[in-house]
Amino acid sequence: MSEGQATNDYCLIDATRPPKADGPPYAECVLCREPTEYPESYKGITLCPVCEWQEAQRTACSG
């Protein structure tokens, strides 16, 4: 492997997260419509902490 290559590139999913909001108004969760930790102005998929955790459990590697 050359020096320019990363050694542990197993997950190819971009796990970037929206910025945390300093206060209300908060974006609502796309699954349960509860308030999230993210600003209402964020455009994209936002999940509340509970749905985010459940989604991580569903998509976690089982190996």
Give me the tens of pLDDT residue by residue for the chain, a chain 63 residues long.
Answer: 455 555 555 555 555 666 677 778 888 999 999 999 888 888 888 889 999 899 888 888 765
Instruction: Classify residue 20 by its DSSP letter.
Output: P
DSSP classification of residue 25: S
- pLDDT of 1 reads 47
Q: What is the pLDDT of residue 50?
A: 93
Alpha-carbon distance values, 11 to 2, 5, 28, 53, 59 (Å): 20, 15, 27, 18, 11
Radius of gyration, alpha carbons of the chain: 15
pLDDT at 8 (0 to 100): 53
